[in-house]
Chain A
């Protein structure tokens, strides 16, 4: 696989605050990467450096073989910057087609591509509207649409679904999922379940440092963890599950959630677990093969 982004020893400070320090990672072509971390962890700073909005104090960033801000990246790297707005005085179509023209399309192709990306975010009906006439969610979707103009190879989306209603957030997630593989996505979000569904790699930033870099998020080792969410979870359930053959440890991570660590046995644990639930007439909400992203990041 080709490396599309390589970051080495990246550091950035704002006054005495270290926003990023010694950040190193590589992102492979076609992967969908989650950038996770608490508020103020340095996610937006990292996005801004990759996009060329900020200059790092130290370290290097290489995107598709080029430095940020390089002309060869102009139609290959696109982004949804956090809080960036389009000009409220012009129509959506005028601005997006202008962006497309800047990317090298002629006027006709730019208008056609504008229509295409607006259809992707289900907003073709607002092409002639000024952005000041749109709701917050619509403006956000238009900004996502501009990131898909042309044929970008790398797309950075900073809090893409924040502020969207559930239906549109789901539509955006579906859109990203449908483009996975063709485009390398880097997504920042506080919605871990969203990232879990979309991403195969996680970069966890904390206080400006990359504290975790997990690849192959969904490739769980056979016979390692099962996450079980139960209705009316009780100590009795906890104990009975712990007695199943092969179970090494059972940890309660939430009021209704158990993470079961086990070793591989002749009889698969998920079948034993479902039998146990059925025999005791318990009700389960969800069974996840492996640990949730939240548990991987925040539970020992």
Chain B
């Protein structure tokens, strides 16, 4: 594998988002949606969480759903952002990364590319490019949240910076298998739209079946590790012993990309 060619593919994906009109429209829409999320749900929830009157109620509620440690954060904006982002970014990444190779394959563009690089370099380069895009988008929202928090209380910025970095990294790692799943589905379907439909079917029907089988026959509960996002419940409450859980999405990503490489190597273009 040639790293330079892989890197070139990744760079090209970045220009797809940041050097095209369509890409800037998507970034603008994304920014507006997150502006609304920050301005209304998060901004308005912070006084409620910090209020001494509701402290007992909030702590009790958070403890019930395993988020007790988050409520104790003085950086309340980051705590709320973390919970919202953890459940929305994975699904968002499915939509954003729905077209990695499929449209190029339909158009025949990959035929020009595979005369100049290996198929795996194309697959990995496109995947990495989508990861960079997600990294930038998640980073933008993290910075916006940090700024909003700094406006409320500038004294929290330094402690919040470390947490922001940790949130950014955990969110990105969480999104990795979702992006890799779309890399794989791009090879099995004939359009970006069909890839999204298959992803939705996977997360509804197949994931439900796996969960059900795991519940009824505990010996098969290991199959749950095949579902991207399985670890989310383990890390939501920012538990100190959950670092091992972050290995799950990394292993899932490697497995999905491995499957993608096998399929792409064997398939006709």
**Knowing A55-B268, A81-B108, A102-B8 touch, does A69 contact B2 (C-beta < 8 A)?**
no
A75, B268: Cβ atoms closer than 8 Å: no
Residue of A nearest to B269 (CB): A53
User: In angstroms, how far is the closest chain B Cβ from the Cβ of A164?
Assistant: 18
Residue of B nearest to A71 (CB): B118
Q: Is B16 an interface residue (CB 8 A)?
A: yes
Q: Is the interface of B mostly helix, strand, loop or mixed?
A: helix
B118, A53: Cβ atoms closer than 8 Å: no
Please name all residues of chain A whose beta carbon is closer than 8 Å to the beta carbon of B20 when the two chains form the complex: 89-90
Please name all residues of chain A whose beta carbon is closer than 8 Å to the beta carbon of B104 when the two chains form the complex: 87
Chain A: how many interface residues by the 8 Å CB criterion?
30
Q: Please measure, in the bound complex, the distance between the C-alpha atom of A144 and the C-alpha atom of B145, giving whole angstroms.
A: 50
Please name all residues of chain A whose beta carbon is closer than 8 Å to the beta carbon of B268 when the two chains form the complex: 48, 53-55
A87, B114: Cβ atoms closer than 8 Å: no
Please name all residues of chain B whose beta carbon is closer than 8 Å to the beta carbon of A98 when the two chains form the complex: 8, 12
Q: Is B112 an interface residue (CB 8 A)?
A: yes
Q: Is A78 an interface residue (CB 8 A)?
A: yes
Chain B: how many interface residues by the 8 Å CB criterion?
24
Within 8 A of B (CB), among A199-255: none
Q: Please measure, in the bound complex, the distance between the C-alpha atom of A75 and the C-alpha atom of B116, giving whole angstroms.
A: 7
| CB-contact partner of B16 in A55, A75, A89, A146, under 8 A | A89
Residue of A nearest to B104 (CB): A87
Please name all residues of chain A whose beta carbon is closer than 8 Å to the beta carbon of B12 when the two chains form the complex: 98
Q: Is B111 an interface residue (CB 8 A)?
A: yes
A residues touching B (Cβ–Cβ < 8 Å)?
A: 48, 51-55, 69, 71, 73-75, 77-79, 81, 83-87, 89-90, 94, 98-99, 101-103, 143, 146
Given contact pairs A54-B268, A98-B12, A143-B112, a sample of 10 additional A-B residue pairs in the complex whose CB atoms are under 8 Å apart? A51-B115, A69-B119, A75-B116, A78-B115, A81-B111, A94-B15, A99-B112, A99-B113, A102-B5, A102-B8
A-B contact pairs, 5 of them (CB 8 A): A75-B116, A84-B108, A86-B112, A102-B113, A146-B112
